[in-house]
Chain A
Amino acid sequence: MNGRYRYLLARLRDLMIAGGVVTAALLLCALVTALRGGVPVWPELAALAALLLMGVAVWLFVARPYRKREQALERMLRGYAGGEEEMGPVTLMGPGDERLLGELRQMLSPSQMFKLNKRQAQYLALQNQINPHFLYNTLESIRSEAMMAGLSSVADMTEALANFFRYTISKVENLVSVEDELQNCETYFHIQQYRFGDRLELTVRCAPEDREELYRCRLPKLTLQPILENSIIHGTELKVGKGHLTIYLQRTGERLLIQVSDDGVGMDEETLARLNGKLGKGGLVGASAGSQRGGVALVNVDNRIRLLFGEEYGLHVYSMPELGTTVEITLPIITSDRDVRNREVLR
């Protein structure tokens, strides 16, 4: 028998079955006696109906909520988010329960988790807490010097880097259009090309008829670039020969699907399972993920998406050794920031 039923529910059920059977048997006996003796039978029938109603009531108001509570707590213990949104209403067994759950929810509220992930994203982008204006000015100076010295490639590279930082450092919590995000990816890729040369190739694909609509969709800032960076560093960089990166956009009635694929070294089944296990937990693994190697950027992006839009959206990774890796991002179709479900976390 499953452990979670060992306690209250099992006792309650046994008690209900035993009590119900005995009472029903007694009532049936009384009914038969009444029928034989010509006595009115309605009291027995009424008692039977009451018994039945009591059974239904116990099931609806005691047993079922208890099972739901068990299910929700088990899910929370397995690492999924514990907010009311994710768990639904939970039946409390006593005042201690209520206090405990309140504390937990406070700790794990979407806004708290989002802030945590936002901080992590900022940290990832700004490892050294550089003053942005100082950085832009310095890069601009380097660019001017390079142009004057006739080093156009250095000037070009510096400009790309300045653009990249300008986009990356400011307001990480904002939603941006797909077009802006793709532009940032191309800037990042442009910078990487100075390192890899022709060894890297990036293609952005979508159905031409959907292009305009797709590019107008909103998504959290820095959703694509960290994934693209992961694809380059963990996928194609380790591969011998040319690496191809693809960003493929498509939409259904309600969802925006973005696939970031590489044809790099891929990963084995165990690593893939571990990585996907970290995703989809709505923020709980965000804080601890940093201690384990790999997947920090993915977990961060996944957490931000889930906290903003709900548990049905997020990231999923597909991979096979020698075949490459695909990260599938699922987002709602949103063209205005007002459509965001959890808008308060953006503030």
Chain B
Amino acid sequence: MREEVLRLSEVTYVEQGVVQLEDFCLSVFAGEIVGVLHRSGHGISALIDLLRLNLPLRAGSVYYRGERVNSWRAPGRHDNRVGVIKSQSSLVEDLTVADNIFVLRPGFRSWLVRPRVLAGQVQPVLDSLGVDIRADALVSTLSPFERVVVELVKAVVAGCRLIILREIGTIISDVELERLHALLRRYAQQGISFLYISYHYEELMQLCDRTAVYSNGRIITVLTLKDGDALYGGDYLERVREQLRQSPASRPASSALELRDLRGGAVRGVSLTAAPGECVVLQDLQNLVFGDLISILLGERRAESGEILLGGKPFSPHPTREIAIIRELPDVSMIFPEMSCLDNLCMTVDHRLPEIWRSRRAREGLRREWAQRMGEDVFTLYPDRMTRRQRYDVVYQRILLQRPRVVLCVQPFRGADLDTRMHIWELLEELLHSGAAVVILAVNLADAFTLADRLVRVRRGASCEVYERSEFDRLPFSAPWLNLYRTP
């Protein structure tokens, strides 16, 4: 007999007139790690809120730990004790680990906070997990992985029998992810259940026994390991295979970007070379260097030492159209919401077409030309009316128009569902075909790995390992899609 921790039965939930979940059914048993793979992100936030806060339902019921806690007829009155760990930490930066775990816990009633006692209680727990975190350390000094561990311990200490993890793979590296998975398995053996939400089946299949496929507010199927290939409808996987079959094109001898032992801030000796049309993945195992590296390249931070070569010539860092940066979640961070699609597109093209802002004719010509790529419709819309895919289009096409030598993409696949990932992939390929060197700054290798011609791994701010594409099948660590490289 199995103990059921969570059951959503035929749940329909509507938020401000928009159906978020419809006929939603899901069960989680005690000690089980259930993956939720979302093909489209719509409704996932609502699902998490619903599980925590028992929001009023239109139909169906929610059962937690054997009790009906919410139903369409009788909305739940209390919050559920469910832990939620997201990629954005919910810890208080200026408090210690022990304070975050105990003092901010619901139900903490002590008037007097005794740091030493709290630290004494937390430290053995942290030590038993095999993580090097001090209970009296400030949260602001912790790495993303350590923060996730602290949030996990906080949820366990608070008595949560169900913990939801959402897109954790986007902030921690593969090595840390393996460590986290080991911790989750350990807690699962103690009867705690997990709902592990991710966009990447590759990540889920490493951990979960069952994976529920979520699409448009419904669970459409529940998968086991063997179903993985069929999951992507053949389309995605076939693209991956095709990409891997391609032998790397011969690159020009000159490099588009070269970093030689670059240092400054968290960057403690990064070296890499990217030729035109080449894709280099820079994997930061601690998620520390990206901000400082970009600041150095843009001239916002002085490099302490090292050398930067752009197009084979020494480059003194300053903002230049030769280097383009595509930031995380560019559909939000790189779109000007008050500007039209065309204006958004023209933002960085003035070095090529100086009259672009003066001449209506030039802009009209550009619109006509780009309408063939992006469609007419998008030019009639402002960003708030565009689909996510259209916003991605605008950002990437802007970069294509800019024609930079080097494009630095920070976690380009972060937060993207399956369809968007495939589209981003196509856009990145377009950038590569245009002759730009693409440097993908990634924490987790999923997706980016398949595009890479070279992988540079950065540990504690310094590049430590470099692998060419021909060596990927011999990588000494676990990475998504690695099995495909090893397939003869």
User: Which A residues are closer than 8 A to B by beta carbons?
Assistant: 2, 71, 75, 78, 80, 88, 210, 213, 250-255, 257, 266, 269, 272-273, 276-277, 279-280, 312, 314, 316, 318-323, 326, 328, 330
- Chain B residues, CB < 8 A from A279: 23
Find out whether the CB atom of A320 lies under 8 angstroms from the CB atom of B72: no
List, sorted by A's number, 22 A–B pairs whose CB atoms are closer than 8 Å. Answer: A2-B17, A75-B59, A75-B72, A88-B73, A251-B1, A252-B1, A252-B3, A253-B66, A269-B216, A272-B220, A273-B218, A312-B61, A318-B220, A318-B221, A318-B222, A319-B221, A320-B230, A322-B234, A323-B221, A323-B231, A326-B222, A328-B25
- With A253-B3, A321-B233 known as contacts, the answer to whether A312 contacts B9 (CB < 8 A) is yes
B176 within 8 A of A: no
Partner of B221, one of A210, A273, A280, A326: A326
- With A88-B73, A273-B22, A322-B233 known as contacts, the answer to whether A280 contacts B220 (CB < 8 A) is no
Given the complex of chains A and B, what is the CA–CA distance between A328 and B221 in angstroms? 11
Find out whether the CB atom of B25 lies under 8 angstroms from the CB atom of A269: no
- Chain B residues, CB < 8 A from A316: 10, 23, 25
The secondary structure that dominates the B interface is: strand
Q: Which 7 A-B pairs have the closest CB atoms?
A: A318-B221, A252-B4, A320-B221, A276-B23, A316-B25, A322-B230, A323-B230
Find out whether the CB atom of B230 lies under 8 angstroms from the CB atom of A255: no
B219 within 8 A of A: yes
B360 within 8 A of A: no
Min CB gap A282→B, angstroms: 11
Min CB gap B11→A, angstroms: 11
Given the complex of chains A and B, what is the CA–CA distance between A7 and B227 in angstroms? 52
B interface residues, how many (CB within 8 angstroms): 31
Given the complex of chains A and B, what is the CA–CA distance between A328 and B219 in angstroms? 13
B114 within 8 A of A: no
B215 within 8 A of A: yes
- Chain A residues, CB < 8 A from B29: 252
Find out whether the CB atom of B220 lies under 8 angstroms from the CB atom of A210: no
Given the complex of chains A and B, what is the CA–CA distance between A326 and B61 in angstroms? 21
Given the complex of chains A and B, what is the CA–CA distance between A323 and B226 in angstroms? 10
Q: Which residue of A lies closest to B63 (CB)?
A: A312
Find out whether the CB atom of B59 lies under 8 angstroms from the CB atom of A80: yes
Find out whether the CB atom of A269 lies under 8 angstroms from the CB atom of B220: yes
B2 within 8 A of A: yes
- Chain B residues, CB < 8 A from A255: 4
Min CB gap B18→A, angstroms: 13
Min CB gap B56→A, angstroms: 9
Given the complex of chains A and B, what is the CA–CA distance between A149 and B233 in angstroms? 51
Partner of A253, one of B4, B17, B27, B222: B4
Given the complex of chains A and B, what is the CA–CA distance between A273 and B21 in angstroms? 12
B479 within 8 A of A: no
Find out whether the CB atom of B25 lies under 8 angstroms from the CB atom of A210: no
B431 within 8 A of A: no
Find out whether the CB atom of B3 lies under 8 angstroms from the CB atom of A323: no
Q: Which residue of B lies closest to A213 (CB)?
A: B1
Find out whether the CB atom of A253 lies under 8 angstroms from the CB atom of B1: yes
Could you mark each residue 53-71 of chain B with 1 if its beta carbon is under 8 Å from any beta carbon of chain A, else 0? 0000001010000100000
Given the complex of chains A and B, what is the CA–CA distance between A255 and B68 in angstroms? 14
Find out whether the CB atom of A318 lies under 8 angstroms from the CB atom of B219: yes
B213 within 8 A of A: yes
- Chain B residues, CB < 8 A from A257: 27
- Chain A residues, CB < 8 A from B222: 318, 326
Given the complex of chains A and B, what is the CA–CA distance between A88 and B230 in angstroms? 45
- Chain B residues, CB < 8 A from A314: 10
Could you mark each residue 172-211 of chain B with 1 if its beta carbon is under 8 Å from any beta carbon of chain A, else 0? 0000000000000000000000000000000000000000
- Chain A residues, CB < 8 A from B25: 316, 328
Known: A252-B4, A280-B10. 7 other contacts (CB 8 A): A78-B59, A250-B2, A255-B4, A276-B23, A277-B23, A279-B23, A320-B220
- Chain B residues, CB < 8 A from A266: 221
B223 within 8 A of A: yes
Find out whether the CB atom of A210 lies under 8 angstroms from the CB atom of B219: no
Min CB gap B52→A, angstroms: 22
- Chain A residues, CB < 8 A from B223: 323
Min CB gap A341→B, angstroms: 15
The B213-264 residues at the A interface (CB cut-off 8 A) are 213, 215-216, 218-223, 227, 230-231, 233-234
Given the complex of chains A and B, what is the CA–CA distance between A254 and B355 in angstroms? 74
Find out whether the CB atom of A251 lies under 8 angstroms from the CB atom of B2: yes
